[in-house]
Amino acid sequence: GHGVTKVALVPGGPHPYFAAWEQAGLDAVEDFGLGKADYRVPAEWDLSQQNELIESLVGQGYNAVLVFPGDAVGTNKILGELDDAGIPTAALAGCVEQPTQAKFCFGTDTGHSAYLGTKELIKALGGKGKIAHFTGFLVDPNTTLRINAVEQAVSEAGGGVEIIQVIADIDAYEPADEKINAFMAAQGSEVDGIVTTAWVPAVVAAQALTNMGDKRIKMVGIDHDEVVLKAIKDGYVHGTMLQNPYGQGYIGSYVMDKVRQGCEFKADAPWKSTAQTDQFIDSGTVFVDISDVDTYVMAMRGISLEILETFDSTYLNCPS
Amino acid sequence: MSDYILELNNITKNFPGVKALDNANFRLKKKSIHALLGENGAGKSTLIKIITGVYNQNEGKLFLNNQEKSFSSPNEAMNAGISVVHQERNLIRRFSVGENLMLTNLPKNNLGLIDYNTVAKESKKWLDIMELDIDPNTIVSDLTVAKMQLCEIAKALSLESKILLLDEPTSSLSPQDTKNLFALLKRLVAEQDVSIVFVSHKLEEVFEICDEVTVLRDGKNACESEQITNLNRQKLVKLMIGRDEQIIKSKKNIDFTDESLLDLQSINTDLGHKNINLNLKKGEILGLYGLVGAGRTELIKCVLGLDKINSGQILLNNKEIKIKSPKDALEKYKIGYISEDRKKEGLILMHDVLSNAGITVWSNLKKILSFLNDSIVYNKVDPYVKQLEVKTPSYQQIVSNLSGGNQQKISVAKWLASGTDILFIDEPTVGIDIKTKSYLHELIIELSLKGTSIILITSDMPEMISLADRIITMKDFKVVGETINNHNYEEMSSSIMGNIHE
Amino acid sequence: MNNKIPNFVKTNQFGLLILVIVFICIFSFSTDGFTSRFNIYALSRVVALDIMIGLAMMVVILTGGLNLSLGALGVSAAMFGGWCMESMGIPISITIILVLAFGSFLGWINGFVTVRTGVHSFIVTLATMSIYFGFMTLLTEAEAFRKLPEAFTDFGSLKLFNKYISPLLIISVLTCFVLYYIFKYTDIGRKLIAAGANPDAAELSGISVDRMFIYCHMLSGFLAALAGIMLTARIGAAIPSMAGHLGFDWLLPAFLAPVLGGTLLSGGKVTVFGTMLGAILVTLINNGLYLIDVGEFWVRFFLGIILLGAVLLDRAREYFTVKNSIVS
Amino acid sequence: MSALLKKDWFGLGLVLIFGSILISLFKPAFISPFNLYVLMLSVSLMLVVAMSQMIIIAIGQMNLSVGAIGGLVAISFTGLMEVYSMSILPAVLIGLLIGLACGFINGYITVKTGISAFIITLATLYIFKGMNLGITEAQPFYEIPEAVKFFGNAKIFGPIPYLVIIPIIITVLMWILMNRTSLGRYMLAYGNNVQSSELIGISSTKIVIYAHVISGLLAAIGGMLVVCRLQLGTPNIGDSWLLPSFAAPVIGGAILAGGKVDVIATAFGVILVSIISQALVIFKIDPFFVQIFLGFMILLAVFINRYREYREERRTKVFSDE
Ligand SMILES: Nc1ncnc2c1ncn2[C@@H]1O[C@H](COP(=O)(O)OP(=O)(O)OP(=O)(O)O)[C@@H](O)[C@H]1O
Ligand SMILES: Nc1ncnc2c1ncn2[C@@H]1O[C@H](COP(=O)(O)OP(=O)(O)OP(=O)(O)O)[C@@H](O)[C@H]1O
Ligand SMILES: [Mg+2]
Ligand SMILES: [Mg+2]
C-alpha cells in the first residue's frame, strides 16, 4: 500500500565516479520492478546545489533518495527533513555522520580503504621506504580521515616507512598536475612510494609516472579511471583501490524499494562500524594490481551478487 | 550655389527630458572665423557634436560643400575634412603626446608596425607650429592642464582639415597662450583657406578674432551669421541672455590693519612650495593670481591636508591648527574648497542635482540616528540653486546631463549651502557664460559682505581685478608679490605682470 | 517633462519583478511540485541565504571594488560561532553578537588593507580569501561543530505562515529594509554612496572616503557573517566546507543577485530591493529548471541562457523608458 | 637605466631573479633540469590563459568565461578526435573556431547592448560550461592521438618542452599587438577612456569584438594545450583558471579599470605565481599552511610591484564608469 517506488540517485556533483549509477538504476527498475530509479546530478559540486536539487526532487514525486553526501555532517539536516516527510533515504558511496535519519550507509569506508591501500603499498615496498600521500580538499572531512588512516598504516609498519609529504587540495586537474609534477621534480629521487586517496590526484600521478617512464616509484591509486587502469597494465602503477559504484546504485535502489514496502532492518543486523557511522554496509572495496586488473569488473559483480543474495535474510524483516 | 562650406538647416536634437536644439540654423563661410555663442546649455556643444557625427540630429539637414551629408561616426566626419577640439579633454592620458597627436593615423613601417620614430618626428612638427616646447615622448598625464589643451589643438591641426571646430579652446589657457593661438588661427585662415568655428564665453576674444557670430538661446537661434562689425558687447550680451548685462556693484573697503583670520606661515610642502606666507582677513577676498601651473591649487590642497606640509604653521584666529582632511576643514574649521576640476573633483556626475548640491550639508542636517531625507536637503539647498538659476528639468536630473556651466553652478551651490567661514574658490568661472559669471561675481562679493573670507584663485585678470581686495601673485610655487587692489585695470595688471616677469 | 509613466516602472526593480512573476507563473503551470508546501519552504530558505550573500557583495561593489573573500569570511565566522557554542558553551545570543563582530572585524581587515596600501580590493580580498580560509582550516583541522544548541538548529528548520516560509527569509527581508533605510534615509548611507561614486569629489566635499570604504567592507563582513550563521542554523552544524573550497560556492550567487538587481559595478549605486529580487529570480530559475527536468547536466546551460535573456530584457526596458521620456 | 626602472617588469624581474637565487640556495633541486622543465610547463599553460584575460583587462573589461571557453574547446577538441575519429589538424581548427565564436558572442553582446562585460561573461560562463557538461555528462575523453601526447610531454632539448613553443609565439605576438599595432593601441586607448576614444573616431564595436575574439582564441589554445599536457579531455579543464588569469596581469601592473597592461610584466607575473606555488611544494609546507602562505605571497608580490605607483592606483575602480 505504498505505491510504486521512485528512487533518485543523487551524487555530490558531476563526476565520472558516479556514472555507473545511471545504468545501475535502470537495471534495478528492470530487475526489481521499481517505478523509477533515476540518476540526478547537481549542476555543481556544492552542498547547497545538492540540497536544492534534492528538495526539488521531492516536488517531482520521488519518494526515496540515495545520496552521496555533499557533506558528511551538513547533508544530515535535509535527510532528516526528507525522513520527516516520509521519504526514506540512505547514504551511498560515502557516509553521513551519526546521528542521522538516513536508514543506513552503503558504500566504501573511505578511511579503511585508504588504510588498506597504504598497507598494499607498504607491502609492495617491502616494508620500508619513503612515501608521499596525495589527497583531495582539506575541508572535506573524508580527507582528514584518509590522512589519519594513511598515518595509521604507516605507524603499524614498524618504523621502516616514513611519510615525507602530504599534498592536499588538489581535486582539480590543473593544480594537481602542477603540484604533483613539482613534487616529482623536487623529491622524485627520494620518494619510494605514492598513495593517492582521491580520484583526480590518482589520475594525474599515474599520468606523471607514465610520462616520466618511472617504474621505480610504487604507486597505489584509487578508483577506476582509465588512465589509472592503463598505467597498472603498463606497469607504472602498482595497483588501485577499487570501489563498487554499480553495485551501490543497483543494490541501493533495491533496498529502498524494500524499505518503502515496509521492511524493517533487523535489530541484530550485522552492521559494520566506521569512524562515521555504525550502520554501515560495505559495498566492497578491493585492491587490484596487474594480475587482476582485466577481470576486476567480474570481481566487483561477484561481490554485488553476493551482497544481494543474502541481503534480505541478513538485514531485513519484511511484512509477509 | 552658396559660398558656405558648411550649412545646417533646422536642426533639432532631443535628449531625455531636454530639447537641446530646436530648429537651429548654422552657416559657416569659407575662410572665416565664426563665433558660436550662447549661455551654458544653449546647445553649442551639441551642435558641434552633430557636425562631427557624435550625435545624430532628430530633424534637420547638414550640407558640406552644398552636398547633403550625415555622419554616423566621428571617423566619417574626420574623413570628410572636419577636425574638432571638443570641450572635454580627449587625450589618452597614459599615451605620449606624440602618439596622441598621431593616433587616428599612426605611421607604419614596411612591416605594418607602428614606427615610433616617425610618430615623434611628425608630431614634433605640429608642436613646433603651435610653438609648444614639449618633448613628443612626454606622457600626457605629466602635462599641465594648459599644455594638454594646446596639445589637443595641435592634434586637431595635424589632420590638416579645411574645417576646424574649436569648443572653448581657451578656457584654461593663459593670456599669452591665447594670443599665440589667435595668431596661428588667423594665419591658418589667411594662408590655408581654413574655416573655423569658435566657441567661447570670453567676448573679448570673440571681438578679437571672429568675423561672424551665431548666437543660440535655449537651442534656438537668437541670431544667425551676424557680421561682428554690426555688433557690440552690449548687443551681443542681450542676444545671449535676453536682457542687458548687469554691472557689478562696487566693493566695500577692508581695514587691512585688522588681525588676520587665516595665516599661513613659512609653509614648505612636499610638492615644492617654498616659504609661503599668506594671511586672510575677515570678510576679505584675497586673490591668488599666477599663470597656470604656479602651484596655487596645490597650495590649497596642502592646506586642506591632501598633501603633506613639511614645515610651517597654519593659524586660525591666531591659534595653530592642523587640518588633517577636507572633512576636518569643513566640520572643525568651517573651511570649504570649490575645485577647479568640476568633473573629477567637484561633482558626482552620476548622481542627481539634489545629492550633489546637498553633499556638504548632510552632516549638519542629519537628525537623530543619522536620519536624513530628500525634503530636508531640498529645503536647505533650494534657495541657493534658485539663486544661481541652475537650468535643470528637476532635482532628480543626473548632473552629467547638465551643460558644463550648469554643472559649475551646482558645484558652487553646494558650498554656498554649507555656510563656511572661509572659502577657497578655484577658477570659478571657467566655461561659465557671462550671465552666470556676473551672478557668480555678485555672489562672491555678497558672500564676503556677509562675512565669509575668500581666497580666490583665477587666471582671468579682469575677474581678479574686479573682485579681489588684495592680490597675491605666485610663480613657481613661491609668492612673488602682493598688491592692494585699487580696481584700476591698467595699473593693477601691469603691476601684477611686473611681479611675474621680474 | 513627460510624467505619464510612474517612476517605479522605469526602474530595473520593476523589470525584475515582472520577470519573477512571469517565471512563477510558468513554473506553477508547467510543473507539479513548484507550488507544493515543501518546495516553497525550501525555496524560501535558499532565497534567504542568497539575498544575504548578494547584499554582502553589493555593499563592496558600492565602493567600486569586489569582495572575493566573502565566502571564506562567512565560513570563518560561522566556524567561530560553532566554536563559541560547542566548545565554549557561550549562549546563542552572545554568540551571534560575537560572530557578527568577528565578521565585521575580518571585513575591517579587508577595508583597512585596501585603503592603506592602495592595492585594489580585488587583489586584497583574493589574498585574504586564502588567508582566512587557511587559518580556518588550520585552526579547526577541518572538523565540523555539530553539537550546537537545539534552540539554534531548530530555528533553521522552523516553519512559519502555515509552514510555507522559513524564518531565515524574514531575517533577510528585514535586513533589506534596514539597508534600504540606511542608504536612503541616513547621512551615513548617503556618504557611503557618494564616496563610492566619486571618491575624489566626495573627499573634497568633506567626506572621509577612506573611512567610508572601510565601513563598506565592515558591513560586507557583517552581512557575510550573518549569512554564515543562517547557513549554520539551516544545516544544523558549522562545517568548513559549507561554502565549498575557499568559499567559492558563494561567489556566483554573490555576483548574480546585485548584478541582476541593477547595482552598478563601477560603484556609487546600490539597489537593495533589486538585489533581493535578483536573488529571488536566480533561485526560482534554478529550482524551476530542476523541476522542469531539462536534464541536470543542462541546467547550467539554461540558467545561463535565461540570465542572458533577463539582462537583455532589462536593457530593452531601459531603452524604451528612455525613449518614452524624450520630449517631442 | 632610469628608463629601465620605469618599466613595469623591472621590479618583478628583480624579485624573480633574487627569489630564484634564494630558493635554489636552500633547495638546489629547484634548478634541476626536471624542475625547470616542470616549471616551464606550468608557466606555458598559464601564460596563454593570462594573456587571454589581459587583453580584456586592456579594454577595461573582465572576461569571467575564459575558463569555460577553454574547457568547452578542450572537450570539443578531444571529443572530435575520440568520437568522430577526426585527425588532429581539423580538430585544432574547429577548436579555434569554437573559441573564436565564443569570444565573438561575448564581444558582440557586450558592445551592442552596452551591458558590462562582467555580466555578459558571467552569463556565458554558465552557457559554455553548461554545454560542456551537457555534452560530456561529466565523463572525460581519453583517446588522445600519440602526436598530441608527444607534444605535451617531449622535450626539444635539455629541459625545454615542446609545449613552450606556442606560448612563446603568443607572447611575442601579443607584445607586438599591444605595442606596435594600431589595433592594440586603440584597445589601450579605449581602456583608458571610452568616451574620448569614441570622440577620436575609434570604433567601439571593432575594438571590443576584436579583444573578445582574441581572448576567446587564446582561451581555446589554452584549453587545447592543457589537453596535450594532461593527455585527457576532462570537463573540468578551465575550472581553476579564473583567479590566476587575473592575478598574473595584475601582479604585472595591469590596472583593472583598463588602459594599462604590460605583456612582459604579465609573463613575469605568471612565472612568479608558478614559482610561488612550486616553492610551497618544494619546501614541503604543511598542507594546512599552504593557503595562508599563498595569500600572503600574493599580497607581498603585488605590494612590492605596486609600491611605486601607490598614488595612481589608490582609488581606481575595477569597472570604469560609463
Ligand atoms: N548626453 C546628453 N544627455 C542629456 N542631455 C544632454 C546631453 N548632452 C547635452 N544635454 C543637454 O543639452 C543641452 C545643451 O547642452 P550643450 O552641452 O550643447 O550646451 P553648451 O551650449 O555647450 O553649454 P556650455 O557653454 O555650458 O558648454 C543642455 O541642457 C544639456 O543639459
Ligand atoms: N599629475 C601630475 N604629475 C606631475 N606634475 C603635476 C601633476 N599635476 C600637477 N602637476 C604639476 O603641478 C604644477 C601646478 O599645477 P596646476 O597647473 O594645477 O597649478 P595652479 O597654480 O593651480 O594653476 P591653475 O590653478 O591655474 O591651474 C604644474 O607645474 C604641474 O606640472
Ligand atoms: Mg559646451
Ligand atoms: Mg589650479
Per-residue pLDDT at B4: 87
Residues of D in contact with C266 (CB under 8 A): 317-322
Chain segment D101-119, per-residue pLDDT in tens: 999 999 999 999 988 898 8
Give yes or no for a contact between B27 and B225, defined as CB atoms under 8 angstroms apart: yes
Pairs of CB atoms within 8 A across B/D: 60
Closest partner residue to C118 (CB to CB) among D133, D295, D313 is: D313
- Lowest-confidence region among B97-101, B158-162, C181-185: B158-162
According to DSSP, the residues that pair with A242 across neighbouring strands are A286
**Structure-block grid coordinates of residue A84:** 520527516
The reply to whether D26 falls in a domain is no
All residues with CB under 5 Å from ion ligand 4 = B 297, 340
Average pLDDT of span D120-130: 93
3-class SS shares of chain C: helix, strand, coil, % to 5: 75, 0, 25
Q: Where are the domains of chain B?
A: 4-241, 246-334+421-428+453-502, 341-419
Average pLDDT of span A238-242: 93
Atom of ligand 2 at shortest range from CA of B290: 21
Per-residue pLDDT at B250: 53
CA of B398 to the centre of ligand 1 (A): 12
Closest partner residue to A172 (CB to CB) among D240, D288, D290 is: D240
Nearest CA in chain C to B327: C206
Residue C268 touches chain B, beta carbons under 8 Å: yes
Residues of B in contact with C185 (CB under 8 A): 371-373
Residue D4 pLDDT > 80, yes or no? no
**Separation in Å, CA of D200 to nearest CA in chain B:** 7
Residue B184 touches chain D, beta carbons under 8 Å: no
Concatenated DSSP letters of B163-195: EEEEESTTTT--HHHHHHHHHHHHHHHHHH--E
Per-residue pLDDT at D316: 52
User: What is the average pLDDT value for chain B, to the nearest integer?
Assistant: 87
Residue D16 pLDDT > 50, yes or no? yes
Between residues B437 and C69, which one has the greater pLDDT? Answer: C69
Give yes or no for a contact between C82 and C76, defined as CB atoms under 8 angstroms apart: no
Give yes or no for a contact between A305 and A289, defined as CB atoms under 8 angstroms apart: no
pLDDT band at D313 (very low <50, low <70, confident <90, very high): very low
Per-residue pLDDT at C327: 43
Per-residue pLDDT at B243: 67
**Structure-block grid coordinates of residue D83:** 568520437
**Separation in Å, CA of C110 to nearest CA in chain A:** 23
Residues of D in contact with A175 (CB under 8 A): 240, 277
Q: Which residue has the least CA distance to atom 16 on ligand 2?
A: B293
Per-residue pLDDT at D322: 39
3-class DSSP assignment, residue D301: helix
Q: Which residue has the least CA distance to atom 8 on ligand 1?
A: B401
User: What is the average pLDDT value for chain C, to the nearest integer?
Assistant: 88
CATH of domain B4-241: 3.40.50.300
End-to-end CA distance of chain C: 10
The reply to whether residue B331 touches residue C1, judged by beta carbons under 8 angstroms, is no
Q: Where are the beta strands (DSSP E) in chain D?
A: 155-157, 160-161
Domain range for C192: 35-323
Ligand positioned closest to the Cα atom of B177: 2
Residue C135 touches chain D, beta carbons under 8 Å: yes
Per-residue pLDDT at B292: 66
The reply to whether D96 falls in a domain is yes
CATH of the domain at D259: 1.10.3470
pLDDT band at B249 (very low <50, low <70, confident <90, very high): low
Ligand positioned closest to the Cα atom of B144: 2
CA of B355 to the centre of ligand 1 (A): 20
Per-residue pLDDT at D311: 47
What percent of chain D has pLDDT above 70?
A: 92
CA of B342 to the centre of ligand 3 (A): 14
Query: What part of C 217-236 touches A (C-beta under 8 Å)?
Result: 234-236
Chain segment A154-208, per-residue pLDDT in tens: 999 888 899 999 998 888 888 899 889 989 988 888 899 999 999 999 999 999 9
Look up the pTM and report it. Answer: 0.88
User: What is the average pLDDT value for chain D, to the nearest integer?
Assistant: 87
Q: Is residue B149 lining ligand 1, measured as CB closer than 6 Å?
A: no
**Separation in Å, CA of B375 to nearest CA in chain C:** 11
Per-residue pLDDT at B413: 86
| Residue B455 phi, psi (nearest 5) | -105, 120
Task: Look up the CATH superfamily of B246-334+421-428+453-502.
Answer: P-loop containing nucleotide triphosphate hydrolases (3.40.50.300)
The reply to whether D75 falls in a domain is yes
User: What is the average pLDDT value for chain A, to the nearest integer?
Assistant: 89
The reply to whether D165 falls in a domain is yes
Nearest CA in chain A to D153: A211
**Separation in Å, CA of A57 to nearest CA in chain C:** 7
Per-residue pLDDT at A157: 86
**Subunits with 3+ C-beta pairs closer than 8 A to D:** A, B, C
- Which residues are CB-contacts of B34 (< 8 A; sequence separation ≥ 6)? B28, B195, B196, B197, B198, B210, B211, B212, B213, B214, B225
Q: Is residue B20 lining ligand 1, measured as CB closer than 6 Å?
A: yes
CA of B182 to the centre of ligand 2 (A): 24
Chain segment A39-78, per-residue pLDDT in tens: 998 888 888 888 888 988 888 889 999 999 988 888 888 8
Residue B500 pLDDT > 80, yes or no? no
- Lowest-confidence region among B304-308, C117-121, D190-194, D272-276: C117-121
Cβ-count burial D193-218 (b if 16+ within 10 Å, e if not): bbebbbbbbbbbeebbbbbbbbbbbb
Residue D229 touches chain A, beta carbons under 8 Å: yes
Per-residue pLDDT at B257: 67
- Which residues are CB-contacts of B494 (< 8 A; sequence separation ≥ 6)? none
Between residues A133 and C297, which one has the greater pLDDT? Answer: A133
Average pLDDT of span B17-35: 90
Residues of C in contact with D291 (CB under 8 A): 130-131, 133-134, 137, 246
Residue B112 touches chain D, beta carbons under 8 Å: yes
Chain segment A17-28, per-residue pLDDT in tens: 898 899 999 999
Q: Which residue has the least CA distance to atom 24 on ligand 2?
A: B292
Atom of ligand 2 at shortest range from CA of B300: 22
What percent of chain A has pLDDT above 70?
A: 99
Per-residue pLDDT at B375: 86
CA of B340 to the centre of ligand 4 (A): 6
Give residue C199's identity as a one-letter amino acid code.
Answer: P
Mutate to test the pocket of ligand 2, among B178, B298, B427, B458 (most ligand atoms within 8 A of CB): B298
Residue C103 pLDDT > 70, yes or no? yes
Give yes or no for a contact between B5 and B399, defined as CB atoms under 8 angstroms apart: no
Give yes or no for a contact between C145 and C83, defined as CB atoms under 8 angstroms apart: yes
Task: Find which of A2-16, A245-259, A294-308 is predicted with most confidence, using mean pLDDT.
Answer: A245-259
Per-residue pLDDT at D108: 96
Residue C204 touches chain D, beta carbons under 8 Å: no
Per-residue pLDDT at C307: 85
Per-residue pLDDT at D305: 63
**Separation in Å, CA of A174 to nearest CA in chain D:** 7
CA of B99 to the centre of ligand 2 (A): 22
According to DSSP, the residues that pair with B472 across neighbouring strands are B288, B482
Residue A302 touches chain D, beta carbons under 8 Å: no
Closest partner residue to D116 (CB to CB) among C64, C200, C265 is: C265
Closest partner residue to B345 (CB to CB) among C194, C201, C207 is: C201
Chain segment B275-329, per-residue pLDDT in tens: 999 989 888 899 998 876 788 888 999 999 888 888 999 999 889 999 999 999 9
Residue C243 pLDDT > 90, yes or no? no
Residues of B in contact with D180 (CB under 8 A): 113-114
pLDDT band at D3 (very low <50, low <70, confident <90, very high): low
| Number of structural domains in chain D | 1
Mutate to test the pocket of ligand 2, among B271, B292, B455, B474 (most ligand atoms within 8 A of CB): B292
- With 0-12 CB in 10 A as exposed, 13-18 as middle and 19+ as buried, what is C92? middle
| Other beta carbons less than 10 A from residue B331's beta carbon | 16
CATH of the domain at C223: 1.10.3470
Residues of D in contact with C302 (CB under 8 A): 130
Average pLDDT of span C180-185: 93
Q: Is residue B405 lining ligand 1, measured as CB closer than 6 Å?
A: yes
| Number of structural domains in chain C | 1
Concatenated DSSP letters of B395-453: TTSBGGGS-HHHHHHHHHHHHHHHT-SEEEEESTTTT--HHHHHHHHHHHHHHHHTT-E
Closest partner residue to D123 (CB to CB) among C68, C265, C308 is: C308
Q: Which residue has the least CA distance to atom 18 on ligand 1?
A: B43
Domain range for D70: 31-316
Chain segment C246-263, per-residue pLDDT in tens: 888 898 889 889 988 888
Average pLDDT of span C90-95: 94
Contact residues of ligand 2, CB 6 A cut-off = B 141-142, 144-145, 290, 292-298, 340, 427, 457, 459
Chain segment C198-238, per-residue pLDDT in tens: 998 999 999 999 999 999 999 999 999 999 999 999 888 89
The reply to whether residue B73 touches residue D260, judged by beta carbons under 8 angstroms, is no
Per-residue pLDDT at D321: 45
Give yes or no for a contact between D58 and D33, defined as CB atoms under 8 angstroms apart: no
The reply to whether residue B350 touches residue C203, judged by beta carbons under 8 angstroms, is no
Mutate to test the pocket of ligand 1, among B172, B218, B398, B403 (most ligand atoms within 8 A of CB): B403
The reply to whether C40 falls in a domain is yes
Per-residue pLDDT at B294: 81
